[in-house]
Amino acid sequence: MFTGGFDPVNILAILPEISLIVLGLLILGLDLALPEERRGILGWVTAGGLVLIIGLALAISRPGSEPILLWGGMLRHDWLGFAFKIVFLFAAAITALFSMDLFDSGRRGEYFLLLLAATLGMNLMASAADLIMLYLAIETTSIPLYILAGFLTKDDKSTESGFKYFLFGAFTSAVMLYGFSLLYGFGGTTNLYGLSQAFLEGGLSIGAILGSLLLILVGFGFKVSAVPFHFWAPDVYEGSPTPIAGFLSTASKAAGFAVLARVMLAVFPSIAVEWGAIVAALATATMTIGNIIALAQKNIKRLLAYSSIAHAGYALIGIVAISYLGVASTVFYLIAYVITNLLAFGIVALFGRVAGSDDIAAYAGMSRRSPWLALGMMVALLSLSGMPPFGGFVVKFAVFAAAIQAGMVWLAFIGVINSIVALYYYLTILKYVYLYRSEDEDKPLPVSRPYAIGLTVLSLLVILIGTVFAPWFSVASSAAAAIFR
């Protein structure tokens, strides 16, 4: 099952994780060493360090075309994990940039440390190949995120959101852990690929496997905020610091999908038809309920929360297709979604800080206050609604294509109808941004340097994904190849 002796690839493969720990220690050291007024650079160090780690990972830790199991079968070094790792590191770098202006200076060190710890957990989630590793990784991700969500201790909404997130998370993770233990009991191993073998060899009742799968789905559904495990998302996003809400809705969700794709497709091919039907139902409910409730929202963070629920539904379509194209399209979808949603939350964070409100009505007159910021908002919202030449179009195209290839034309139609509903509420926001006037429209909307950098990079990436899609799609295809070889 795993390689005997020591192979340097063991270290190379987890170089990003090691570097994350080093970076975290560096932040902690700087936090102690620097005088309080100079701790403003911690955000730059975090973001810069993460960018360095991305460069390092791309240069050294790229997996080969053949996946390998490392560290006694705990991790699997493949493109599926690697592609997601880069996405997480990137999202964390952007979140660090967006967080820089948010807090009173004394408390920044642990904030960035927690962010890095959560990122470390996500990286391990994406490559975990063992139930124990997987569970530890999920908890390593979740616990820092609970704290981050409640980080604004003077703000009741933030503490409430942290606590709510914690209760929901603890509950679902307990259910999921129960599912894991059942799987171990049935399969006799904790290794995901070993379990798959055991189930394929047969002798186990479908009901037993399906039952434990349902328990696991509770945990995964919570992570990706799929209906009916989505209730936490709007409250938590609304209360937590906006950059963290952005991080939760992008990297944390993508991490959930990485695990979902790997576990469902690698462990349960023997009952693919059954879970395919269940996940198809989840996808339908997630898209529809997310979009319909989003229609009624007045607060932009809540609206984006429901829209991100709906987007989980679209991404699930690719999983339901249970095909090479399906997984590729889900990964592709998530890459574009993460970048787009970070852009949307970045603008919301900036605007909310300056304008002091997250009401959609407060966005009136935005294009007169700052035409470029309004343009960025338009790029984000149109990409979320699936309009070219932005990333959202081609990735929606890909997931619908996967559904039709799998013979599920009905699911494609549900997705299509949902994207029309979504277009309505995205356009409504644009109406405020561009059309309505407000008394505040003469007030400037200053964009600080970290935001300017982050938002520009994200906007350009959204357009780049939407126009030059071949390189992104080939990464997504390599990730799919790690499952379907």
CB 379 to another protein: min, Å: 11
DSSP assignment of 374-385:
HHHHHHHHHHHH
Query: What is the DSSP secondary structure assignment for residue 103, as one 8-state letter?
Result: S
**In the window 459-478, what residues touch another protein (CB under 8 A)?**
469-470, 473-474, 477
Cα separation of 157 and 152, whole Å?
9
Among 41, 416, 484, 485, binds another protein (CB under 8 A): 416
Can residue 222 be called a binding residue for another protein (CB under 8 A)? no
Span from 16-24, 124-132, 145-153, 388-396 in contact with another protein (CB under 8 A): 388-396
Is 128 in a helix, a strand, or coil? strand
CB 61 to another protein: min, Å: 25
Can residue 48 be called a binding residue for another protein (CB under 8 A)? no
Can residue 393 be called a binding residue for another protein (CB under 8 A)? yes
Which residues fall within 8 angstroms of residue 332, CB to CB, at 6 or more apart? 394, 395, 398, 469, 472, 473, 476
Cα separation of 286 and 233, whole Å?
13
x/- map, 144-173, another protein, by CB under 8 A: ------------------------------
**In the window 334-373, what residues touch another protein (CB under 8 A)?**
367-368, 371
Cα separation of 393 and 135, whole Å?
35
Is 307 in a helix, a strand, or coil? helix
**Token pair recorded at residue 431:** 């109406």
Span from 192-200, 238-246, 247-255, 389-397 in contact with another protein (CB under 8 A): 389-397
CB nearer to another protein: give 231 or 372: 372
x/- map, 426-445, another protein, by CB under 8 A: -x--xx--xx----------
Q: Which residues face 76 on adjacent strands? A: 69
CB 415 to another protein: min, Å: 9
Long-range residue pairs from 470-476, CB within 8 A, at least 24 positions apart, any chain? 472/332, 472/335, 472/336, 473/328, 473/332, 473/398, 475/79, 475/83, 475/331, 475/335, 476/83, 476/327, 476/328, 476/329, 476/331, 476/332, 476/335
Can residue 200 be called a binding residue for another protein (CB under 8 A)? no
Span from 73-81, 99-107, 219-227, 395-403 in contact with another protein (CB under 8 A): 395-403
Can residue 317 be called a binding residue for another protein (CB under 8 A)? no
Cα separation of 140 and 377, whole Å?
33
Can residue 333 be called a binding residue for another protein (CB under 8 A)? no
Q: In the complex, which residues of this chain contact another protein (CB under 8 A)? A: 367-368, 371, 375, 378, 382, 387-389, 393-394, 397-398, 400-401, 404-405, 409, 412-413, 416, 419-420, 423-424, 427, 430-431, 434-435, 469-470, 473-474, 477
